[in-house]
Structure formats: C-alpha cells, structure tokens
A and B are shown apart, each in its own frame.
Chain A
Amino acid sequence: MTDSIDWQALIEKHLDGQTSEEEAATLSDRIVNDAEVRAEYLKAARLHGALGDETLAVDLEMTPFTAPKPKKDRDLRPFSRPQQLAAALVAGAFVGLMGAGVVWAVSTPKSEASFVPIANGAFEAVAGPVEMGFPTEVGDWSGDPAEVVTEPDGNQMLRFLETANVTGDPNGGASACNVFQIIDLSSLQKEWGTDNADAQVTLELSARFRREAAPSDAELPKLAGGLTIHLYQAEPESIGKAWPDVIRDAVALGSKTIKLDPGDESATLSASCILAPEATIALISVNANTRIPTKTPITLGGYYVDDVQLTVIKQPTFPVRFVK
C-alpha cells in the first residue's frame, strides 16, 4: 500500500456505504490484485460488522469510559467539593431518569485519583544503559537494549536502541524493544478497596513519546511506540520465567500504540485497565515495535519515551445505560 491512494480510508468509505461506482471499482481491482489491501479490507469489514453486532451493545453499555487524564503538573487529590457535587448531580440526573431517587446520588462515593509510585518513571535518577533481561523483582526498569539519555536542557528520557527477544530465546520473536517494570499492588488493593461493588478502580498508565530521525527509518515504515499494562496474581519472579505464555493468565490488561513520524511533536499516550481485586502485581512496559515479524534484532534509535506515570482512579459506578 505504497501509492497515493489512502486504501484504508477508501475501505472505510466503502464499508460506510459512501463510495461511488468508480471508487468501488478501483477498490475492487486492488482487492483482487493486492493481498495486503485484501487483508486490510477483511480486518476492517470484520471490525465494522462486529461493532454493529447487537450483542456487543451490552458490552458497550457495561464498558466504563476511559478515566479522565490527570494533569502532569498537578498534584492529584480527591476531587474538590464542587466537583463531587457536580458528579453527584450528573449521577442524580441519570438515576432520576431511570426511576430511582436522587437521594442515592447525593450520597454517591466521591471520585478520587492518585499517582502510584513508579521507580524512575521520569528517567531522572541515572543515565546510561538500562539493565537487560526480564525484571525479576519489583522496583526498576529492565528489558531489551535501551538507554537513558540526557538532552541539552538536562532532561533525561529513555531511548529504545534495538529490538530483541527479552527471554534470550534465539528462536523467539524480536520485533520490538520492550522495557518493563513490575509494581507491587498489595498496598494499593488495601487502600483503594477494589472489592467494593459501588466503585470502580482503574489503573491508567501514561507516557510521553517522541520520535527523531534515525538511519533505519526508511526500513521501518510501521515503527510505533506503545505502552502496556498487565495485572497478574503472581509472584514477580514467576512472570519472566513463563513469558510470554503468561500473558494469557493476566487478570486485566490494557495497551495503546502510537505511530509518530520523525520530528512530529511529542505525544502522550495512555492505557487503562480495571484494577481487578485479585491482582497482586502490575507489569508495565514501554516499547518501540517495528511490526516486522523477525527473530533478528533490528537497530532503532529514533523513539524516545519520558514521564511514565501510573494513576489509580476510583469512580462511583453509575448505572447509566444506553436506550435505543
């Protein structure tokens, strides 16, 4: 898909019933002759079909909206009294519409948010190479080849150097450079009462990505930055031993990617997941992914990440449902 037509846009236009006869003919020819466009069409059509699926309506109604992003330069505290009242009034409006009383809304638990400590989340502690290999204990970054670099203004950030297989398996995939950290959730669970049915506690991982030009850029058209958060009910050292099969045992996970062009403005990305009551540890990672299926390490160099933050957010569960 290297020519001037944005095939993905044309595919979406067709799925939305908006293509002209001429555009449909152009797309048809391409589908016949280009396996990549064919595969893209199938994925987009499957998604389009699944999004319209009536059974998914239930999931949409149940799925919480992503929690509001905390401001980096603001100390996070429980919402102020006016904000609590505003939330209560909003809840009251919905509850009132659904036939229940407004009194419930006034006694709604307050929304709260707080940072969860991450070791060296801003990469300001030390400069130099990050420890290699999968982390075995709580408390610092380690993973594939990466280094903490210092900018002219003194700010430090993490630079992804090379893709690798973090377990060291020569037959394993090496399409991404991942840097991990394990975080203990036990005290968080006690403090935030995640087994309380009246409130929902989510963890939001955020980080700021930047991309500069690098010699390998031309060979890496799909290079993207990303972050993930996985929650496990497990001992920290057991995750690395069973990686990556252990991902199937995650009790919650969230991830997000962003594709920046060299020189683009830096962008903050966030991924959330529900803090499941049984989770004992969180495995967070930041990465640069070439999206090239390979077992051979690939030199990167242009992707940077900074200001990794983890926020716990507790919100009252509002019984809001969509009515057709």
Chain B
Amino acid sequence: MDLLWKLLFSSMPTTDPNSDHERFTRLLLESEPVMLRSILVTVPHRADAREILQETAVALWRQFETYDPARPFLNWAMGFSRIETRRFLARESRRAQLSEQAMAALEHEMPHSADFDNALESHLATCLGKLNEKAHRLITGYYHEGHSPEILSEREGRTVEAIYKTIQRARRDLQACIEQQLAKELA
C-alpha cells in the first residue's frame, strides 16, 4: 500500500473499525489492480490514473453503506471509477483524449478481452525474460524508473528515435509472445 492509500485510509471515518472499515479496505485492495488497469485503458498516464483511482476510493467509501454485499464489489466499484474518469477528463486537458464514444466502446469491449488479460498476467514475466538485454533495459528504464525517451537516449548514447523504436519493438514482441502463449493454451 503506498503512502497515498495510507493517508486516505487514515483520514476515513472509522465508525466501526472491526467491520465496515476493514471490510472496505479489504475489498478495495482486492479490486484496486483491476480498477487501475481499467482506468489505464482510457487514461494511459499512470499518475492521472492513480489520481482517478484515489477519487474513486473516496467516492466508494462515502457510498459504502449503499453497497449490497450480495453483489460483486468490483462491478459496483467500476461504475464509480467510470464516473470519476469522466470527471477527471472534463477538468484536465493536459493530454489529448479519446472521445466519449470511443471510451464507451472500449469499456463495453473490456470483458471480452479477459483471455488476453489472463494470459498477460500469466506470461508477461516470462515474455519479458525473452527480450534481449537492450530492450529489457529500456523497458525497465521507461516503465519502472519513469525515464523519458530523451533521458534514456542520453544514458544509452543513442538517438531518441532509436530509443522509442526499440521500446515500440519490445512492446510488440511482448504482445506477440503473450498472444502466442494464449493461442497455445487455447489450441
């Protein structure tokens, strides 16, 4: 749990710490990865997506008493995250956004990509291991160290374009690798 989550939870009213608060925390933590990945589909910038997730968590907590435990928490929560995503996009214009219709089409399609999502979870680490050293280093630098292609270009002594192409190629290799694993599983 990162610092923001800790702050969020510490600021929550704990009317009944042994039931609602703990139950909410557990449900939220279980759903957080799926929610974040869903938000990232329409808001690819990770910091923006995290901000939406935090707003969603606050909204969920405020409405938690209306949650019906007989229903899946994730389904309930996803409705909130869609609303918070729209709110965020309405007030932010830092990056070009997809249209409302495109976002709706993607959200409608998401459940149908479950096979790929499962394969992604199962095989991404393995597929990363098959990248060559240079691509692996750049993917790590770009995604986990948060460096821009410009910084990576200086570090690697290559042009920005070459860096970006290598990252693109690595992502395509990864996608192909995962699809291949999936095809084998479905064969």
Give residues in A with beta carbon < 8 Å to B. 8-9, 12, 14-17, 19-21, 23-25, 27-29, 31-32, 38-39, 41-53, 55-57, 59-60, 62-66, 172-173, 226, 228, 244, 247-248, 253-257, 271-272, 322, 324
B105 to chain A: closest CB distance in Å?
Answer: 5
Could you tell me if B171 and A32 are in contact, using CB atoms closer than 8 angstroms? no
Interface residues of B in 82-107 (CB under 8 A from A): 95-99, 101-102, 105-106
A interface secondary structure, majority: helix
**Contact count band on B:** 35 or more
Q: Interface readout for B30-54 with A: 1 if CB under 8 Å, 0 if not?
A: 0001001100110011100100000
Contacts of B133 in A (CB 8 A): 65-66
Could you tell me if B98 and A50 are in contact, using CB atoms closer than 8 angstroms? no
Q: Interface readout for B124-154 with A: 1 if CB under 8 Å, 0 if not?
A: 1110111111001001100111000000000
Whether, in the assembled complex, B177 has its beta carbon less than 8 Å from a beta carbon of chain A, the answer is yes
Could you tell me if B99 and A25 are in contact, using CB atoms closer than 8 angstroms? yes
Q: Do A14 and B175 form a contact, CB below 8 Å, given A60-B128, A244-B187, A324-B144? A: no
Could you tell me if A45 and B102 are in contact, using CB atoms closer than 8 angstroms? no
Q: Known pairs A46-B120, A47-B124. 10 more at Cβ < 8 A? A: A31-B98, A39-B113, A50-B124, A51-B124, A51-B174, A55-B33, A60-B136, A66-B129, A226-B180, A257-B176
Contacts of A256 in B (CB 8 A): 130, 173, 177
Instruction: Pick from B33, B102, B181: contact of A53, CB below 8 A.
Output: B33
Contacts of A38 in B (CB 8 A): 105-106, 109
Could you tell me if A60 and B109 are in contact, using CB atoms closer than 8 angstroms? no
Whether, in the assembled complex, B6 has its beta carbon less than 8 Å from a beta carbon of chain A, the answer is no
Q: Do A42 and B124 form a contact, CB below 8 Å, given A17-B45, A255-B181? A: no
A and B contact pairs by CB, cutoff 8 A, 22 listed: A17-B44, A24-B98, A25-B99, A27-B102, A28-B101, A29-B99, A29-B102, A31-B105, A32-B105, A46-B116, A47-B124, A49-B44, A55-B33, A60-B128, A63-B128, A244-B184, A247-B185, A254-B126, A256-B130, A322-B140, A322-B144, A324-B144
CB-CB nearest in chain A for B187: A244
Instruction: Pick from A57, A64, A172, A255: contact of B144, CB below 8 A.
Output: A57
Whether, in the assembled complex, B27 has its beta carbon less than 8 Å from a beta carbon of chain A, the answer is no
Could you tell me if A56 and B174 are in contact, using CB atoms closer than 8 angstroms? no
B150 to chain A: closest CB distance in Å?
Answer: 12
Q: How far is the CA of A72 from the CA of B99 in the complex (A)?
A: 52
Could you tell me if B120 and A47 are in contact, using CB atoms closer than 8 angstroms? yes
B22 to chain A: closest CB distance in Å?
Answer: 23
For B40, B49, B96, B144, which residue has the most chain A Cβ atoms within 10 angstroms?
Answer: B96
Could you tell me if B129 and A64 are in contact, using CB atoms closer than 8 angstroms? yes
Could you tell me if B140 and A255 are in contact, using CB atoms closer than 8 angstroms? no
Contacts of B184 in A (CB 8 A): 228, 244, 247, 255
Contacts of A63 in B (CB 8 A): 125, 128-129, 136
Could you tell me if B130 and A271 are in contact, using CB atoms closer than 8 angstroms? yes
Contacts of B187 in A (CB 8 A): 172-173, 244, 247
Q: How far is the CA of A255 from the CA of B187 in the complex (A)?
A: 15
Could you tell me if B109 and A47 are in contact, using CB atoms closer than 8 angstroms? no
Could you tell me if B145 and A47 are in contact, using CB atoms closer than 8 angstroms? no
Q: Interface readout for B4-45 with A: 1 if CB under 8 Å, 0 if not?
A: 000000000000000000000000000001001100110011
Q: Do A8 and B172 form a contact, CB below 8 Å, given A17-B45, A48-B44, A226-B180? A: yes
Whether, in the assembled complex, B156 has its beta carbon less than 8 Å from a beta carbon of chain A, the answer is no
Could you tell me if A52 and B46 are in contact, using CB atoms closer than 8 angstroms? yes
Whether, in the assembled complex, B77 has its beta carbon less than 8 Å from a beta carbon of chain A, the answer is no
Q: How far is the CA of A63 from the CA of B37 in the complex (A)?
A: 23
Instruction: Pick from B36, B131, B168: contact of A9, CB below 8 A.
Output: B168
Q: How far is the CA of A43 from the CA of B110 in the complex (A)?
A: 10
Q: How far is the CA of A254 from the CA of B173 in the complex (A)?
A: 13
Q: How far is the CA of A15 from the CA of B97 in the complex (A)?
A: 10
Could you tell me if B130 and A42 are in contact, using CB atoms closer than 8 angstroms? no
Could you tell me if B99 and A32 are in contact, using CB atoms closer than 8 angstroms? yes
Q: How far is the CA of A228 from the CA of B68 in the complex (A)?
A: 48
Could you tell me if A42 and B116 are in contact, using CB atoms closer than 8 angstroms? yes
